[in-house]
Structure 1
Amino acid sequence: MSTATANDVANDIASDVRNSNNKSMGVMLVKSLPDALRKFDPRNMWHNPVMFIVWVGAAFLTLLAVAQLFSPDDLSHGQPVYFTWIIAIVLWFTVLFANLAEAVAEGRGKAQADALRKTRTTTPAHRVVCYDAENDPDVRGPEKGHGPSSIVEVPSSDLKLGDVVVVEAGDLIPGDGDIISGIASVDESAITGESAPVIRESGGDRSAVTGGTRVLSDRIIVRITQKPGESFVDKMIALVEGANRQKTPNEIALDVLLSSLTIIFLIVVLCINPQASAVGASVSLTVLIALLVCLIPTTIGALLSAIGIAGMDRLVQRNVLATSGRAIEAAGDVTTLLLDKTGTITYGNRQASNFHTLPGVDHDEIVRAAALSSLTDSTPEGQSIVDLARKEGMELDDIEGAKAVPFTAETRMSGLDLPTGERIRKGATSAIEHWVSEEGAGIGQEVLDAMHDRVESVSNAGGTPLVVAEQGANGVVRILGVVQLKDVVKKGLRERFADMRAMGIRTVMVTGDNPLTAAAIAKEAGVDDFIAEAKPEDKLAYIKREQSKGQLVAMTGDGTNDAPALAQSDVGVAMNSGTSAAKEAGNMVDLDSDPTKLIDIVQIGKQLLITRGALTTFSIANDIAKYFAIIPAMFMEQFPGLGVLNVMGLHSSLSAVLSAIIFNAIIIVLLIPLALKGVKYRAKSSEKILGRNLSIYGLGGIVVPFVGIWIIDLFVRLIPGF
């Protein structure tokens, strides 16, 4: 597969998602009809107890209608012969519409799955036999040179967990794994849809690679970390098709509630005939079964599975892979968000914003020294210092014979040694103090106090201080001042955090900055709390403390050191660019590696729970309305006094039952778009959301059946015999 083909596949995925969203509901229903018909198998219907009762009722009435053809007088109870046929047909359509809701939800993921399968072709893999890490550079194979290890070409489908493969420029990566040697530019567009290549390398948090992506440059050695059939692409295909979808705890609990209500109404319906017989009335089996179907919560029973599948689909459309629906539900219940500062709250590229001099130092001196120390610094921070110096009028040219001093984790500073003997350094406060002491220069208390004042001032303003010092050609060492680096907070986050707060969710910023800097950025961003100078174990400890208080915690991570915290959190979102350990530990993977997407994931989880709650409220309210609509009409012929309760003025008991059963089927179809799209998300507290659901979907669930049944009855009464 060429690079162009990989890009085409990515475009196909995006196009299929857009097309599936833009198609009219009618077209989607028609295309999903064959799948809905296949779901009529009773072994499939059994998994949905409410709709299984409807299926049994439809089957029984079909048999009863056939029997009435041979003995109409004994079995019809004075009703038109075709009444049972009509009720049976409407019940079959009710089951069909329920199956359609699930089939449409599943069908929206099929286009994505088909596009993903294009990346799962069998490719040749160059497997290393007896890999020797110490002699890695000599892994060439007999045909490419001689070395202690050899390479054999095998199909990618034959690779096993732990195998080591060599992937060179132009090759497809044959399976999911970790780079154990080398660095390369990788085209991941076939998976993420992002055309820009990314850098993957060994020994860091960006060592994981995905099968089906292409190496564009250099050569890497990859250790396979997944068994055949369990690759990242395989999991995505299973996810979008819903093949491995299991019911979540909330769905199971709701199923138990719906089943209990069904049993209660079944007992009520069974008791109607004996009670009616006691007062000289009778009710036919057809009417009893129709009444049962109207009273049990068929609406939410039909849409429950579609709501869960649609929630998963919304995640996939945002390039997020969840291991199960349970993870999405947990996101909806989250009460604490742990957000890394760099890349999530701030852009991550700190920019120089000011030069602060110490007493007795000319401003131009620190500008020159800071700029020279950054001339060879290729980091965004270093380049921003040079840019700021030039804006202030400093002319800078490369100095011949100058020696760059790169930043290291040990020294925590960088700089430049000039041919004149002058040495310039910039770095952390403690690192510069240590360097000055090592050079044998004492620091006066006045200078120390002034420096610490500048550092504290920069930190309080939310900046990062870099201290600049120089050793002149005469050997005299001086601290010149402080460069202020400012973290730029992303726009719009403050408002989003306010929305989180309105929903009762605390936002916590995690940063390695000192407490003063962390506090300033936390205040600017609008988060509720922060963890300063955080180490991986600090995240884990914080999550455990929150969970011990009954809170649900969500966090993002990409490194192996994040794995324990990702595993401990209730919602752990691993970056696709991170290590395999991080992706295995989390229960979601963000293909775009965008840490801010955690906020979107929480909103999707909230929307899923809100949608399920709203439609459950509507369904139960429907049952109450249908009960008071049907029961008076059923008996008003035997007991004319009940006519006063027939507030809708339904024509007859038969028209009332048929109108109600038709409405019961139609409302499922009308609610499918809402189940798939979800109730509109609003950042409100749980109490306000509950109040809104009760006022809109509770009241609406009572009013709509009265209006709907009355309108249908106007047409049903025109049928002869009704």
Structure 2
Amino acid sequence: MNHSKHNDHTNHGDHSHHEDHSGHDHEHHSHHDHHKMMVEDFKFRFWWVLALTIPVMALSPMIQQFLNVDWRFTGDTWILAGLSTIVFFFGGWPFLTGLKDELKKKQPGMMTLIGLAISIAYFYSTAVVFGFEGDLLYWELSTLVAIMLVGHWIEMRSVMSASSALEELAALLPGEAHRVNEDGSVEDVPVEELIKGDRLLVKPGEKIPADGKVVKGSSSVNEAMLTGESKPVNKSTGDEVIGGAVNEKGSLTIEISRIGEDSFLSQVMQLVEEAQQSKSRTQNLANRAAFWLTILAITAGLITFFAWIYFTGQSFDFAMNRTVAVMVITCPHALGLAIPLVVSRSTSIAASNGFLIRDRAAFEQARNLDAVIFDKTGTLTKGTFTVTDILNFNEQFSDEELLKYAASLESNSEHPLAKGILEKAEETWEPEEFESITGKGIEGVVNGKSVKVVSPGYVKEQKLDYPEDEIEKTSSQGKTVVFVVIDNELAGAIALGDEIRESSKHAIQALHDMGIESIMLTGDNRQTAEYVAKELNIDQVFAEVLPDEKAAKVKEVQSQGKKVAMTGDGVNDAPALAQADVGIAIGAGSDVAVETGDIVLVKDNPQDVTSLVRLSRSTYKKMVQNLWWASGYNIGAIPLAAGALYAWGIILSPALGAVLMSLSTIIVAINARFLKMD
């Protein structure tokens, strides 16, 4: 991942970014404090320059002439030069150091233009003070620096408000917690002092200080700010709670399971920060445009200067005025801001809607998707299986025994099917041996017998006989069937049903409305897959796919020239998520740091995939609008600044150029704030 900052354009010389990624807790200093410092710095410089600009203008002969007054006195020019020198070096310092940095990197841009414009005005006027023929442009210099400083001040404030997602998240954790001691007494301690295993009392209306498990009490908890889930979630003994969520009704005693960088909130903040740092492809386009605009400005400035001198016979100072105006009006100031502000805004919107962008380039790809591949279990379905039928092929075992053997073996498995079988069984034996058969099931020794719980694929492979009609009938109802083999004989089968999510239907319909094909990828048998696909109106199905074959299926769809998103739970789907153009890890729940997804969906809601595509499309639209506002405005204003309408008495001074340029920056900032999910 490219960690170059999304707001590189704010590198104002000695104000370079010093990021500290060591702490993602609620202290989270670096990014916010850095911007805050810069806002304060520009504000401080602006007020000083404004105070000096008033006497500079009053002492300027051109302004006095314009006001038809005469305030001249002996030595006034030297005072004017002294005040302007302070303005140039103190007020112009961010721009002068920025110019030096840009030239050192061989990347001339906005700072080069502003630095050149104020340097030309200053050194030209100083030459006039020392006897050179011409007019003093000190007042132009002062107003230009003042307007540029206020423009940057506004810009930095916009950047701060646009990238407030991290600050909002950081503010979620309370400063103190009620720690329950071993003797039952309660003491208030700062959150930083908490350690894993501590027990905390959370009273009604309070924020939960850390991730943990409820050990006493029941309540409803509002996790909306963290997961986007609007309804409060009921929590009781044994349930997980997230630090930062609000406890609404009853008192809870929780035991801390994760703190610091491991906590849900820190992982969310880390992902949001990664998103703000990951390089946007459209940003590269903006940077290229800014570079060429700079070249254009310098070329246009030189042509303007020589054209007025050699072809119209105008005075040197008139030509210089026009050159300075061209340099100022062409500053790609708004252009440098056009993309980062939209990027920040979309990241904030995404985070508050429960999906976290880890890779900007992949997020921007989402607008061009042709197909979305969904993993079935846990994504389109709830992933919580319940035993619906026990099919017994061997009279030697009762239904209860068959279930007990299967459940005993499954007690070591993490698979969703295992959970369903375990929930149904009343008691289990301790398995003596346990091993998984990749993509086919599990085997081991239970109660002295060799037991296997396997998929239909394994049964066919081993050519074991079973009542096919009965199994087919069960499978056609969308149920998943696993076979139980005891001492190498097929003893029976267990059917489990997995409920289809209501939100899956809406998600598939919304994708169809957007012209995007939906594909289902599953390790389940074809009948179960076809049943779910028919229920959801899915376009294409890949069934009985082993985990290591999933990436190949994604590649197969891509080979048809389609832009593909893969949506899965991020564990066994990792290679497929990595292969897809856009990898979407869904239902991360409280374990947010899914390393393989480009985008992480906090909730188990497939509809978030459609929200994601919509946000990607609106973000791109807004970026293009901003690029046109910024560069289109600049290109159109160059002839005006060069004096193309001089014959009609219309002349654009450098100071007015600066006002117009700052105006385009404000338009771009406001336009970015209007971004919303369509």
TM over 0.5: yes
Superposed CA deviations along residues 80-122 of structure 1, whole A, max 9, x for unmatched, are x7x8735863674356346524523522554983574252424
Q: Look up the match of 2:353.
A: 318
Residues 314-346 of structure 1 show CA distances to partners (whole Å, capped at 9, x for unaligned) of 213323343464564454465553334467556
Partner of residue 579 from structure 1, selected from 563, 580, 591: 591
Identity of aligned residues (%): 19
Q: Does 2:633 correspond to 1:600?
A: no
* 2:60 is equivalent to residue 60 of structure 1: no
Q: Flag structure 2 segments of 5+ consecutive residues without an equivalent.
A: 1-37, 47-90, 103-107, 388-416, 427-453, 483-492
Separation in structure 2 between the aligned mates of residue 465 and residue 211 of structure 1, nearest angstrom: 38
* C-alpha contact (below 8 Å) 1:511/1:534 kept by paired residues: yes
Aligned partner of 2:34 in structure 1 is: none
Q: Is the 8 A contact 1:51 1:302 kept in 2?
A: no
What displacement does 1:51 show? 3.4
**1:247-262 equivalence runs, <5 A:** 247-262=279-294
TM-score (norm 2): 0.57
Task: Name the CA distance, whole Å, in 1 between partners of 2:273 and 2:418.
Answer: 48
User: Contact 2:371 / 2:565 at 8 angstroms: preserved in 1?
Assistant: yes
The within-5 A match list for 1:301-450 is 301-323=336-358, 325=360, 328-332=363-367, 336-341=371-376, 345=380
Whole-Å separation in 2 of the counterparts to 1:242 and 1:617: 27
Does residue 610 in structure 1 map to residue 627 in structure 2?
no
Contact 2:121 2:324 in 1 (8 A): no
Residue in structure 2 matched with residue 121 of structure 1 by the alignment: 175
1:107 aligns with 2:118: no
CA drift at 1:601:
1.9
Where does residue 432 of structure 2 map in the other structure? Answer: none
Structure 1 residue 597: Cα displacement: 0.9
Paired residue for 2:326?
Answer: 291
| CA drift at 1:496 | 1.8
Select 1:270's aligned residue among 291, 299, 302: 302
Q: Is the 8 A contact 1:36 1:99 kept in 2?
A: yes
* Aligned twin of 1:197: 233
Shift of 1:590: 3.8
Structure 2 counterparts to residues 594-673 of structure 1, below 5 A: 594-629=605-640, 631=642, 633=644, 637=647, 651-652=648-649, 654-655=651-652, 662-673=659-670
AA of the residue aligned to 1:89? T
In 2, are the aligned partners of 1:347 and 1:487 still within 8 Å (CA)? yes
For structure 1, list consecutive stretches of 5 or more residues without a partner in the other structure.
Answer: 1-31, 127-140, 145-151, 353-406, 417-427, 468-478, 638-650, 682-722
Query: Are the equivalent residues in 2 in contact too, given 1:175–1:224 (CA < 8 A)?
Result: yes
Q: 1:185 to 1:273 in 2, by over 3 A?
A: same
Change (3 A) 1:252 1:594: same
Cα distance, 1:69–1:107 mapped onto 2, change above 3 Å: farther
Pairing partner for 2:43 from 37, 55, 65: 37
**Residue 671 of structure 2 corresponds to which residue in structure 1?**
674
Cα distance between partner residues in 2 of 1:33 and 1:484: 54
Q: Distance in 1 between matches of 2:277 and 2:609?
A: 22
Please report how far the alpha carbon of residue 288 of structure 1 lies from its aligned counterpart in structure 2 after TM superposition.
Answer: 0.6
- One-letter identity of the residue aligned with 1:633: A
SS at the partner of 2:519?
strand
Q: Give the distance between the partners of 2:231 and 2:214, measured in 1 at CA.
A: 25
Which residue of the other structure, out of 51, 74, 81, is the alignment partner of 2:133? 74
3-state secondary structure, aligned to 1:594: coil
1:351, 1:486 within 8 Å by CA — same for their partners in 2? Answer: no
Q: Distance in 1 between matches of 2:176 and 2:578?
A: 33
Identify if the C-alpha distance between structure 1 residues 262 and 347 changes in structure 2 by more than 3 Å, giving closer, same or farther.
Answer: same
**Residues 261-288 of structure 1: CA distance to partner in whole angstroms, max 9, x if unpaired?**
3124313422443455443535532211
- TM-score (normalizing by structure 1): 0.54
Between the two proteins, the alignment pairs up a number of residues equal to: 513
Give the structure 2 partner of residue 376 of structure 1: none
Question: What is the aligned-residue RMSD (CA, Å)?
Answer: 5.9
Displacement of 1:583: 3.5
> CA offsets, 1:291-311, max 9 Å, x none?
123345443234332222112
Q: 1:266, 1:292 within 8 Å by CA — same for their partners in 2?
A: yes
1:58-207 equivalence runs, <5 A: 59-60=118-119, 63=122, 67=126, 74-76=133-135, 85=139, 89=143, 92-93=146-147, 96-97=150-151, 99-107=153-161, 110=164, 113=167, 116-123=170-177, 143=183, 156-158=191-193, 163-165=196-198, 175-176=210-211, 187=221, 189=223, 191-192=225-226, 194=230, 196-197=232-233
Letter of the structure 2 residue corresponding to residue 621 of structure 1? G
How far does residue 519 in structure 1 lie from its aligned partner after superposition?
Answer: 3.6
Q: How does 1:203-218 map to 2 (within 5 A)?
A: 209-210=242-243
CA distance in 2, matches of 1:679, 1:483: 39
- Report if aligned partners of 2:178, 2:188 keep a CA contact under 8 Å in 1: yes
- Is the 1:306–1:675 contact (alpha carbons within 8 Å) kept by the matching residues of 2? yes
CA–CA distance in structure 1, aligned partners of residues 259 and 579 of structure 2: 22
Structure 1 position 37, deviation (Å):
3.2
Per-residue CA deviation, residues 403-456 of structure 1 (Å, 9 max, x unaligned), is xxxx9679799799xxxxxxxxxxx9979x99xxx9xxx99xxxx686577557
- Whole-Å Cα distance in 2 between the matches of residues 255 and 484 of structure 1? 50
**Structure 2 CA distance for aligned equivalents of residues 93 and 307 of structure 1:** 24
Structure 1 counterpart of 2:313, from 271, 281, 287: 281
- In 2 relative to 1, CA 408–593 (structure 1 residues): closer, same or farther, beyond 3 Å? closer
Partners of 1:554 and 1:572 within 8 A in 2: yes
Contact 1:265–1:295 (Cα < 8 Å) also in 2: yes
How far, CA to CA, are the matches of 2:468 and 2:269 in structure 1? 62
Structure-2 separation of matches of 1:520 and 1:209: 36
**Distance change (3 Å), C-alpha of 1:196 and 1:482:** closer
CA 1:555–1:91 in 2, change beyond 3 Å: closer, same or farther? farther
Q: Which amino acid aligns with 2:133?
A: D
Give, as a single letter, the amino acid of the residue that structure 2 aligns with 1:75: G
**Is the 1:249–1:326 Cα contact (8 Å) retained in structure 2?**
yes
**Counterpart Cα distance in 1 of 2:240 and 2:313:** 77
C-alpha distance in 1 between matches for 2:498 and 2:177: 52
Structure 1 pair 212/413, CA: closer, same or farther in 2 (3 Å)? closer
Contact (CA 8 Å) 1:117, 1:237: kept in 2 or not?
no
Contact in 1 for aligned 2:380/2:501 (Cα 8 Å): no
